[in-house]
């Protein structure tokens, strides 16, 4: 695309080739628009900005910053040729939307990670046998500990006792032996 060297007698630079004019020794475009690919890039710059405006802009910029200016001019011109309405702003908007989507995804993943970090860690197998008093849930805990409930050896006994109590309570309402 752009070369930092001058046009060493190998014909006109890409800009002069596009403009169909002789490339002089002090051509402002020669160091940046090579004869091969530079023609297509300069065509976009010429279409969007014009050759006169581009040369005036480059002459006002210090020599050590001109390469960056030419790269920017080419990028903006090619973007405007591809998208005449939005140009490079459309690409910037797309990138901003990607950043917002990735930030939202990151926040969601961080929230899930913090939730997972707050969950109690599973107990090693050697500590699985717990007393029945440890199976009750602590009211201050945010997340119920399923591992504490499931590791109790007496959970089926507690469940059976609850069923017996509930059944006897229901039956006393229907059948009263003292009647």
Mean pLDDT of the region 129-138: 51
Distance of CA 63 to the CA centre of its chain: 37
With H, G, I as helix, E, B as strand and everything else as coil, classify residue 38: helix
pLDDT in tens, 76-125: 999 999 999 999 899 899 999 999 999 999 999 999 999 998 888 777 77
Mean pLDDT of the region 26-36: 90
Rounded Cα distance, 55 and 43, in Å: 14
- Tell me which residue of 94, 116, 114 sits closest to 106, measured CA to CA: 114
Q: Any idea where the domains of the chain sit in the sequence?
A: 14-88, 121-169
For 88, the enclosing helix (H) or strand (E) is helix 88-118
Rounded Cα distance, 13 and 37, in Å: 10
- Tell me which residue of 102, 100, 74 sits closest to 88, measured CA to CA: 74
pLDDT in tens, 109-123: 999 999 998 888 777
Asked if residue 48 has pLDDT above 50, the reply is: yes
């Amino acid at each position: 695309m752009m070369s930092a060297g001058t046009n060493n007698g190998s014909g006109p630079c890409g800009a002069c080739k596009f403009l169909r004019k002789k490339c002089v020794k002090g051509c402002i475009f020669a160091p940046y628009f090579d004869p091969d690919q530079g023609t297509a890039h300069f065509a976009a710059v010429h279409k969007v900005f014009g050759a006169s405006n581009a040369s005036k802009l480059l002459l006002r910029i210090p020599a050590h910053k001109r390469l960056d200016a030419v790269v920017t001019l080419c990028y903006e011109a090619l973007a405007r040729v591809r998208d005449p309405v939005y140009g490079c702003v459309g690409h910037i908007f797309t990138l901003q939307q990607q950043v917002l989507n990735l930030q939202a995804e990151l926040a969601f993943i961080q929230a899930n990670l913090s939730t997972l970090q707050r969950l109690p860690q599973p107990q090693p197998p050697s500590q699985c046998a717990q007393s029945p008093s440890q199976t009750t849930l602590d009211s201050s805990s945010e997340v119920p500990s399923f591992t504490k409930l499931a590791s109790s050896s007496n959970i089926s006994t507690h469940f059976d006792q609850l069923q017996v109590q509930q059944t006897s309570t229901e039956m006393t309402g229907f059948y009263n032996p003292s009647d």
